[in-house]
Amino acid sequence: MTTPSPVPARKHFSMIRGFHLADVFTLGNAACGVGAVFLAMAYMASQSLAQFLWAAALAPAAFIFDVFDGRIARWRQTHSALGRELDSLADVISFGVAPAALAFAAGLSGGWDCLILIYFVCCGVSRLARYNVTAEALSEGADKVKYFEGTPIPTSVVLVGVLACAAWQGRIGDAVWGGAWTLGPWLLHPLALLFALSGTLMISKTLRIPKF
């Protein structure tokens, strides 16, 4: 009768021990996104311009982390399915939810605005999911994807830059750029249409952007 092999002892924090350096940068990306959401909420309570601008500043910080995690993964040859999923989840927070929260805090809070911001976030989630399931086919056997289908979700940093400029000029809240339109039962701020455009470009299958 054979003796069953002993079950190996589980190490504490075994998941964290399995993280690579690139994954740490990815988590830095996510941390920036969460911080931006918190600061956007804090701004709504305090109306402190500094908090709004700090929230906006975390978007390019998240972008820097996002750029470096990919480069580090290629440099150290530590690509993994976990890393790819971590990257997508972090991007949803930093470049999807956080810009939408900042836009809402800036005054794009009418009924139509909210629908557009929800659409924007859903487009970002869909864009990342499609990328994850098609990345292998798009890479054509190479180490990385040769082009993006639709605009990458980090391009929303541009939208955050627009909001930061508007805030710097005192053009958020009731004085938001473009004013407000009453359409049926709800308000629409034309500035929100930039988010609709960004979301639509993200889910485009015909728009191909080379990845450098």
The answer to whether the beta carbons of residues 95 and 62 sit under 8 Å apart is yes
Bridge partners, residue 187, by sequence: 182
- Pairwise pLDDT comparison (171 vs 146), residue with the higher score: 171
Quick one: tokens of 47? 């109306």
> Where does residue 116 rank: exposed (0-12), middle (13-18), buried (19+ CB within 10 A)?
buried
Domains delineated in the chain: 21-140+147-209 (1.20.120.1760)
Q: How confident is the model at residue 119 (pLDDT cuts 50, 70, 90)?
A: very high
Query: Does 51 have pLDDT greater than 70?
Result: yes
pLDDT in tens, 36-49: 999 999 999 999 99
